[in-house]
Amino acid sequence: MGVEVSIGRGKVARVAYGFDDVALVPAAQMVDPDDVDVKLQIGELVLEIPILASAMDAVVDVRLAVLMSRLGGLAVLNLEGLQTRYEAPEEAIERIVRAPAEEVVGVLQEVYREPIKEELVYKRVKEVKELGGRLGVASTPANAERLLLIAMEAGADVAVIQSTVTTVRYVSSRREPLNWKSIREAIRAPLLVGNCVTYEAAVELMEAGADGILVGVGPGAACTTRQVIGVGVPQITAIADVASAREDFLKRSNRYVVVIADGGMRTGGDIAKAIAAGADGVMIGSPIACAEEAPGKGYHWGMAAPHPGLPRGTRVKVPYRAPLETILFGPARREDGTQNLVGALKLSMATCGARNIKEMQNVQMVVAPAIQSEGKLLQMRGSK
């Protein structure tokens, strides 16, 4: 259950690890990268690549979703974002993109004040389906019963119930919690639930019928949850814990629930580490916000950024723009690991001797802080 250290009298805490704290160890038997299989199966759905595009407004719209499914992945549309609030979301995005830095939090809050329209929920899903795309749709628990069922009716392929932290048990003196049993029965498609970072919460979500668990509280580049409320578990530890829940649940129930690492990954190396920690796939936002086809027009913002009372994220400019296909399959024109993510994952797996995702989940890691070597690198680059 991990190394516990005393952090004060009567207080213990586990030491937790993130992507930058670890590295993968090459195996004594390499595999040909061209033989590596990176398929991800969620329920009956099989994806050629284990990559989902995050339910964020700078990342996924109709066009991006169609392209993403053509390339073998799955995009998830945020049913509570701009696409379902505005008939013409481009204008709202334009306002966000053009806001001066010091006003952007206020502009975000204002733009997201527009109510969600149920007819737009239906319409967006239909648009993707008519263009031959596959689509995931995401709602918070509070709106899940209302919005997800409309989207399912319109043909959505995967349902996602997602919030900063999602648990089966929710105690309130004034609000009715989500009825997990009824929603599970109402949704015939695969259901992903999150986010979650602990073994116990993951087991309960699996028992409530989730087909997949999204892992990650506060790790994303456009998210400041950890700073604002102090909550978060670094991803390597969180993924390993939830993956351990998956294995235990599999033994008990004979049902395999996929673990999707969500947030905090920028490079192919980060994706490889997520899988080595136990994930079956990843959900990424920032790397895809760099796609020329992404709706964010060169910017990215977290979905907690427009929160009316407690914004936890901001607008950031993406470091470059390139076609989505280049980002996923190369050929890379950048050497920093942000392009050809699938090629990098395959080479990483090959080097670690893993022929498929399942084998990759068991490769060796070392604890090896990245700061110093990167510091050296940056130092030399400074003189470029």
- Nearest distance, CB of residue 165 and a second copy, angstroms: 4
Asked if 352 and 26 touch (Cβ cutoff 8 Å), the reply is: yes
DSSP symbol at 111: H
Candidate residues 5, 113, 153, 292; the one interacting with a second copy per rule CB under 8 A: 5
Residue 72 token pair: 């073998």
- Nearest distance, CB of residue 86 and a second copy, angstroms: 22
Residue 143 token pair: 């709106």
Interaction of residue 355 with a second copy, rule CB under 8 A: yes
Residue 119 token pair: 């007819």
Residues 119-138 that bind a second copy (CB under 8 A): none
Asked if 290 and 58 touch (Cβ cutoff 8 Å), the reply is: no
DSSP symbol at 21: G
- Nearest distance, CB of residue 163 and a second copy, angstroms: 9
Interaction of residue 373 with a second copy, rule CB under 8 A: yes
- Nearest distance, CB of residue 355 and a second copy, angstroms: 8
Interaction of residue 209 with a second copy, rule CB under 8 A: no
Of 153, 156, 110, the C-alpha closest to 133 is 156
Interaction of residue 221 with a second copy, rule CB under 8 A: yes
Beta strand segments in 237-369, E: 258-262, 281-284, 299-301, 315-317, 365-367
Interaction of residue 236 with a second copy, rule CB under 8 A: yes
| Cα–Cα distance measured from residue 34 to residue 63, given in angstroms and rounded to the nearest whole number | 30
Bridge partners of residue 291, in order along the sequence: 322
> CA torsion angle for 148, 150, 151, 156 (degrees, to 10)?
100
Interface region with a second copy, contact rule CB under 8 A, candidates 48-56, 65-73, 114-122, 361-369? 361-369
Residues 164-183 that bind a second copy (CB under 8 A): 164-165, 167-175
Asked if 374 and 380 touch (Cβ cutoff 8 Å), the reply is: no
What 3-state class would DSSP assign to 27?
coil
- Which residue lies nearer to a second copy by CB, 89 or 216? 216
Of 150, 173, 156, 244, the C-alpha closest to 202 is 244
- Nearest distance, CB of residue 75 and a second copy, angstroms: 21
What 3-state class would DSSP assign to 217?
coil
- Nearest distance, CB of residue 357 and a second copy, angstroms: 15
| Cα–Cα distance measured from residue 190 to residue 158, given in angstroms and rounded to the nearest whole number | 5
- Which residue lies nearer to a second copy by CB, 46 or 231? 231
Interaction of residue 39 with a second copy, rule CB under 8 A: no
Candidate residues 41, 140, 351, 356; the one interacting with a second copy per rule CB under 8 A: 351
Asked if 278 and 243 touch (Cβ cutoff 8 Å), the reply is: yes
- Which residue lies nearer to a second copy by CB, 135 or 316? 316
DSSP symbol at 199: H
Interaction of residue 88 with a second copy, rule CB under 8 A: no
Interface region with a second copy, contact rule CB under 8 A, candidates 24-32, 38-46, 85-93, 154-162? 24-32
Interaction of residue 215 with a second copy, rule CB under 8 A: no
Candidate residues 44, 132, 251, 331; the one interacting with a second copy per rule CB under 8 A: 331
Residues 250-289 that bind a second copy (CB under 8 A): 264, 266-273, 276-278, 286
> CA torsion angle for 245, 40, 297, 90 (degrees, to 10)?
-90
Candidate residues 295, 313, 327, 328; the one interacting with a second copy per rule CB under 8 A: 313
| Cα–Cα distance measured from residue 149 to residue 182, given in angstroms and rounded to the nearest whole number | 11
Residues 48-77 that bind a second copy (CB under 8 A): none
- Which residue lies nearer to a second copy by CB, 117 or 362? 362
How many residues touch a second copy under the rule CB under 8 A: the total is 138
Per-residue binding string, a second copy, 90-109, x by CB under 8 A, is: -----------x---xx--x
- Nearest distance, CB of residue 255 and a second copy, angstroms: 19
- Which residue lies nearer to a second copy by CB, 150 or 201? 201
State the SS3 of 119-130.
HHHHHHHHHHHH
Interaction of residue 197 with a second copy, rule CB under 8 A: yes
Residue 215 token pair: 């892992």
- Nearest distance, CB of residue 244 and a second copy, angstroms: 4
DSSP symbol at 165: S
| Cα–Cα distance measured from residue 336 to residue 319, given in angstroms and rounded to the nearest whole number | 11
